[in-house]
Amino acid sequence: MRVVRALVRSVPAAYRHATRRHDQPIDSDRATAQHVAYQAALRSAGFAVEALAGDESLPDGIFVEDTAVIVGERVMMTRSALPGRALERPPIAAALSARGLEVLHMTAGVCDGGDVLLVGGRLFAGISERTDAAGIAALAPLGLPITAIDVPAGVLHLKCVCSPLGDDAILLAEGTLDPAIFRGLQVHAVPFAEQWAANVVALGSRVVMGAGYPVAADRVSRAGYDPILVEVSEIEAGDGSMTCLSLRW
Ligand code: CIR
């Protein structure tokens, strides 16, 4: 069976200073425990997980997904709209290169991996406060067709409201995007009130998702998947969710 790898980065104490769009305090110790539980959930879903050490100079460094877009054995290192987060990229590029991936670097535009969704051999890329048209165009060397999508106002990243459920299905928060965008894919919905739960990490039938979204968990289960629930209050307090905590290939 093919090994699917996941790279994560541990929580530094400085995570309590993570970028966020509200005043909610963050408990870094609790975030550390939740991050460890997240890694365990990925392992139980079947991922081979490796953790890089946290870096006290990078408060948002746990959100490794934003640094890169991986397609097969090739990775495009993205360019951040936030100068502080740009510094997260070089160590991730080195880690991915050391693991045998071919590393390319974006030279124009801005893009966060949280805006790029890979499913069914296609990329869907969100235009957001973090990703622009030039950043999306710079994904071309990854060799897949790309559909650009306007991310709804107030939503940080495309994958805040949708994420892949394997190779032929999407989990989507109702009332956020037109499901017709994903023509040809099965679209499973979570209620708007539980939209954080639309961001999941799936492998086969296993779906790692945030705890506290009972309707969403029930719908995922009824759709034939096996939810693995993780408490992620402190990750959400940093405006993050499931996919943003790992790079997977
Ligand atoms: C930020 O604002 O950049 C971080 N605090 C959260 C990034 C979350 N990333 C993601 O959902 N892909």
The residue to mutate among 63, 78, 131, 246, having the most atoms of ligand 1 within 8 angstroms of its beta carbon, is 63
Q: Would you state the structure tokens that stand for residue 82, as one six-digit string?
A: 């936030």
Residue 179 and residue 56: Cα distance in Å, rounded?
Answer: 40
Q: Ligand 1: residues within 6 Å at CB?
A: 18-20, 60, 63, 65-66, 85, 114, 157, 238-241, 244
Residues 6 or more apart whose Cβ sits within 8 Å of residue 222:
none
Q: How far, in Å, from the CA of 61 to the mean position of ligand 1? A: 9
Q: What is the pLDDT at residue 1?
A: 63
The residue to mutate among 87, 239, 247, having the most atoms of ligand 1 within 8 angstroms of its beta carbon, is 239
| pLDDT at 36 exceeding the cut of 90 | yes
Q: Would you state the structure tokens that stand for residue 227, as one six-digit string?
A: 């939810």
The strand order across the sheet containing 68-71 reads 68-71, 74-77, 102-105
Q: What is the pLDDT at residue 23?
A: 86
Q: Which domain holds residue 193?
A: 5-248
Mean pLDDT of 7-29: 96
> Residues 206-232: pLDDT tens digits?
999 999 999 999 999 999 999 999 999
Residue 128 and residue 151: Cα distance in Å, rounded?
Answer: 6
Q: What is the pLDDT at residue 3?
A: 86
> Residues 43-55: pLDDT tens digits?
999 999 999 999 9
Minimum-distance ligand 1 atom for the alpha carbon of 239: 6
Beta bridge partners of 5: 48
> Residues 150-163: pLDDT tens digits?
999 999 999 999 99
Residues 6 or more apart whose Cβ sits within 8 Å of residue 109:
79, 131, 132, 133, 134, 135, 136, 137, 138
Residues 6 or more apart whose Cβ sits within 8 Å of residue 150:
126, 127
Which of the two residues, 30 and 3, has the higher pLDDT score? Answer: 30
In whole angstroms, what separates CA 166 from the centre of its chain? 14
Q: Would you state the structure tokens that stand for residue 145, as one six-digit string?
A: 């067709």
C-alpha distances out from residue 229 to 90, 207, 208, 221, Å:
32, 8, 6, 12
Instruction: Report the relative pairing of strands 122-127 and 201-203 from DSSP bridges.
Output: unpaired
Q: What is the pLDDT at residue 2?
A: 77
Q: Using DSSP, state whether 187 is helix, strand or coil.
A: strand
Residue 87 and residue 70: Cα distance in Å, rounded?
Answer: 19
pTM score of the predicted model: 0.97
The values of phi and psi at residue 156, to 5°, are -65, -55
The strand order across the sheet containing 48-52 reads 48-52, 5-9, 247-248
CATH of residue 233 = 3.75.10.10
pLDDT, mean over the chain: 97
> Residues 168-196: pLDDT tens digits?
999 999 999 999 999 999 999 999 999 99
User: Which residue's CA is the nearest one to ligand 1's atom 2?
Assistant: 19
Tally of structural domains, the chain: 1
Q: Using DSSP, state whether 196 is helix, strand or coil.
A: helix
Residue 190 and residue 173: Cα distance in Å, rounded?
Answer: 5
Beta bridge partners of 103: 75
| pLDDT at 59 exceeding the cut of 70 | yes
Portion of the chain with pLDDT greater than 90, in percent: 97
Q: Can you give the length of the chain in residues?
A: 249
The residue to mutate among 156, 161, 163, having the most atoms of ligand 1 within 8 angstroms of its beta carbon, is 156
